[in-house]
Structure 1
């Protein structure tokens, strides 16, 4: 049975627009598995970056260029994490609708 909504993928489409995948609810297709793996990499990368950023932000000797760099990377990681959360939230909502018989 097809999903009620397309899956938001963890990478941008053309011109930076959101990219969606229409699939069944099994999540076992190649693109679904690739998206799952990419989400896991994005979340791990964000966690690793946060681990490096905290000591850097506490160091009073760090210059503005380094702070801007880590700020940009943190913003990218946050963007990725929010996209993952949005995608997973949509899929959870779809699962709740299926479980209750609503559409």
Structure 2
């Protein structure tokens, strides 16, 4: 179980690129649901992008500009996926918390 004062890393950054956090005990509150939905969208987009990447890489006629665009999009998707994984990892229960 998460500590009462632990902050949830949100799946978006602030205007200055810094991480955003949510402080709440309500995992079903509006902001928590919004973050959950955004994480699902980001992961779904990453999965679609991965399929597109494989198609481009399989095509020997893919041009360098297409590969640069692909790399840019993959970098963003990987950044989002890592943020989701970090956020979810922080919210996992630890073995000690089961006995506390």
TM-score (normalizing by structure 1): 0.88
Equivalent position of 1:13 in the other structure: 14
Give the secondary-structure state (helix, strand or coil) at the position aligned to 2:12.
coil
Q: Looking at secondary structure, tell me which structure has more strand per residue.
A: 2
User: Residue in 1 aligned with 2:68?
Assistant: 68
Provide the secondary structure at the position in 2 that maps to 1:10: strand
Q: Which runs of 5+ in 2 are unaligned?
A: none
1:86 is aligned to 86
User: Bigger relative contact order, structure 1 or 2, given CA contacts below 8 A and separation 6+?
Assistant: 2
Give the superposed CA RMSD: 1.6
Aligned length: 98
Structure 1: tracts of 5 or more residues without a match: none
Contact 1:2 1:23 in 2 (8 A): no
Higher helix share: 1
Deviations 1:14-43 (A, max 9, x none): 30000000000x411000000000000000
